[in-house]
Chain A
Amino acid sequence: MMPATPFFRAMSAILWKDLATELRSRELLSGMLVFSLLVLLIFNFALELDAKARANVTAGVLWVTLSFAGTIGLNRSMAVEKDRGCLDGLLLAPVDRTAIYFGKTLANLVFMLIVAAIIIPIYSILYNQNLFIPGLLLVILLGSIGYVVVGTLLASMAVQARTRDILLPILLFPVIIPVVVAAVKASGGYLQSIPFDEISPWLNLLGVYDVIFTSVAFMVFEYIVEE
């Protein structure tokens, strides 16, 4: 079957739909934000984030917060499609199915980056540590891409299972650990101003991971949604 709508128009339509829904309900973003602030708060007491500890753990705290908030967002973004029968509607539409996937992925990426964009200044103010380093922002972008590319794929699988609430983190975290490790190492490197030579392997790993998983998702997404 030839898709009637061009790939990029279908993709941007899905992206636009998600952003418009979020603009009106704000349930996903507000949930992710409140949750990540709570995680920060818990870390504050669990780790005694004084000046000395902060230098070592800032990168770790940041990425754990982002990945936990990310699972909430991913679960929600696919559950909405499934519960109200929206996914069936999308599948009936004469568009390439991977366009649906990339539309959802882009929307999730936008949400993740918005959360990061709010968390980072808050962290900077609370702990008096400047996080606006261009390299760090690049790491956050690359890490978030890797996270949502795999996350959206696995979330669309998890929502169709009986045990869907517990399934997504269990499926996602082991696959995503390399991204989190590379992102933590690279962010830590920028925060402690380690020379670029020692950071670049981790950046490469992030880039390679993003490319591999984008292509894997591109090939297998169709099999997840076919009924």
Chain B
Amino acid sequence: MKTQPRLLLIIDFISVILLIIATILVFFVVPTEAVMGLVQKVFYFHVAAGWVGMMAFFTALVAGVAYLVTKQARWDRVGLAGIEIGIVYMLINIITGSIWARPIWNTWWTWDPRLTTAAIMELVYAAYLMLRSGIEDPERRARFSAVYAIVGFVSVPMTFLSIRIFRTIHPVVVGSGDPAATGAFDMTPAMSQTFFFSLITFTVIFVSLLWHRVRLADLSERVEQLKIRLSQ
């Protein structure tokens, strides 16, 4: 049994510390937004979760290309890890968005371009998991998954750009947005510092999660091989 690499332990430790600091910053230090009140604080983790989700899907895209080029099974595990993390974080992103939208837009959900494209993105990657469970041969499963991770990635830039191209009520806080957006605000320096701090925090958490998930897949692969050797 291999123990956890020391670097991974350190990253775990740092991500816990960062998350605690980020929570303290969000709840106690950063000023409350004047118009929307307390619910605006969801913004710091909402955007950070979306950032991790998209980064995870991008990781899966890179892993997909790398798998098709090198044919190393490890890249398949990285791709799967990326997509599993991405699905969870996009779900966190959508749920926190809903919590914010209830008081601000007066509804949990609306068929706005941003919300729609995000929902499509979740469905694409849910389909990815269905595809994997439908194929038994590991080599073929890895190949098809890589192809679908590449094809499905189109939904990610579409979601990212949807609030910047279409007419939408979803606010664009970073960069300039549509004046029709409801709930937009300008960040004060303290707000943007907290915002970037939580982005960094979530990025570190993502690295740690990805490493853990890939390591788990490596270990379960080894267990499979040991089982095969035992039965012979």
Q: How far is the CA of A154 from the CA of B130 in the complex (A)?
A: 13
Q: Determine the chain A residues whose CB is within 8 A of the CB of B127 once the complex forms.
A: 170-171, 174
Question: Which A residues, 131 to 186, have Cβ-Cβ distances below 8 Å to chain B?
Answer: 150, 153-154, 157, 160-164, 167, 170-171, 173-175, 177-178
Looking at the complex, which one of B130, B144, B155 makes contact with A170 (CB distance below 8 Å)? B130
Looking at the complex, which one of A171, A212, A213, A216 makes contact with B131 (CB distance below 8 Å)? A171
Looking at the complex, which one of B68, B124, B133, B147 makes contact with A157 (CB distance below 8 Å)? B147
Q: How far is the CA of A50 from the CA of B229 in the complex (A)?
A: 69
Q: Determine the chain B residues whose CB is within 8 A of the CB of A150 once the complex forms.
A: 151
Known: A161-B135, A167-B131, A171-B127. A154 touches B146 (CB 8 A): no
Interface assignment of A224: CB less than 8 Å from any CB of chain B: yes
Q: Is the CB of A162 within 8 A of B134?
A: yes
Q: Is the CB of B143 within 8 A of A175?
A: no
Q: Chain B interface secondary structure, helix, strand, loop or mixed?
A: helix
Question: Which B residues, 115 to 169, have Cβ-Cβ distances below 8 Å to chain A?
Answer: 120, 123-124, 127, 130-131, 133-136, 140, 143-144, 146-148, 150-152, 154-155, 158
Q: Is the CB of B68 within 8 A of A223?
A: yes
Q: Determine the chain A residues whose CB is within 8 A of the CB of B152 once the complex forms.
A: 174-175
Known: A157-B147, A157-B148. A167 touches B158 (CB 8 A): no
Q: Is the CB of A167 within 8 A of B134?
A: yes
Closest beta carbon of chain B to A18's beta carbon, Å: 23
Interface residues on B, range: 20 to 34
Q: Is the CB of B124 within 8 A of A220?
A: no
Closest beta carbon of chain A to B201's beta carbon, Å: 31
Interface residues on A, range: 20 to 34
Complex: chain B residue closest to A169, CB-CB: B127
Q: How far is the CA of A160 from the CA of B135 in the complex (A)?
A: 8
Q: Determine the chain A residues whose CB is within 8 A of the CB of B150 once the complex forms.
A: 216, 220
Q: Is the CB of B151 within 8 A of A153?
A: yes
Q: How far is the CA of A179 from the CA of B61 in the complex (A)?
A: 21
Q: How far is the CA of A223 from the CA of B149 in the complex (A)?
A: 13
Closest beta carbon of chain A to B168's beta carbon, Å: 14
Q: Determine the chain B residues whose CB is within 8 A of the CB of A163 once the complex forms.
A: 130, 133-134
Q: How far is the CA of A171 from the CA of B152 in the complex (A)?
A: 9
Closest beta carbon of chain B to A81's beta carbon, Å: 17
Q: Determine the chain B residues whose CB is within 8 A of the CB of A161 once the complex forms.
A: 131, 134-135, 144
Q: Is the CB of B151 within 8 A of A175?
A: yes
Q: Is the CB of B144 within 8 A of A162?
A: no
Q: Determine the chain A residues whose CB is within 8 A of the CB of B134 once the complex forms.
A: 161-164, 167
Q: How far is the CA of A150 from the CA of B150 in the complex (A)?
A: 12
Q: Determine the chain B residues whose CB is within 8 A of the CB of A226 once the complex forms.
A: 143
Looking at the complex, which one of B120, B130, B144, B146 makes contact with A177 (CB distance below 8 Å)? B120
Q: How far is the CA of A226 from the CA of B135 in the complex (A)?
A: 15
Known: A174-B120, A174-B155. A223 touches B140 (CB 8 A): no
Q: Determine the chain B residues whose CB is within 8 A of the CB of A160 once the complex forms.
A: 135, 140, 144
Q: How far is the CA of A67 from the CA of B66 in the complex (A)?
A: 33
Q: How far is the CA of A178 from the CA of B131 in the complex (A)?
A: 21
Known: A164-B134, A171-B131. A220 touches B123 (CB 8 A): no
Looking at the complex, which one of B124, B130, B144 makes contact with A224 (CB distance below 8 Å)? B144
A: residues with CB less than 8 A from B are: 150, 153-154, 157, 160-164, 167, 170-171, 173-175, 177-178, 212-213, 216, 220, 223-224, 226
If A171-B130, A224-B143 are given as contacts, then 20 extra A-B residue pairs at C-beta distance below 8 Å, sorted by A number, are A150-B151, A154-B148, A157-B148, A160-B140, A161-B135, A163-B130, A163-B133, A164-B134, A167-B134, A170-B130, A171-B127, A173-B123, A174-B120, A174-B127, A175-B152, A177-B120, A178-B120, A213-B151, A216-B150, A224-B147
B: residues with CB less than 8 A from A are: 68, 120, 123-124, 127, 130-131, 133-136, 140, 143-144, 146-148, 150-152, 154-155, 158
A-B contact pairs, 5 of them (CB 8 A): A161-B144, A163-B130, A163-B133, A220-B147, A220-B151
The list of the 5 closest CB pairs from A to B, nearest first, reads A163-B134, A161-B134, A174-B123, A174-B124, A220-B147
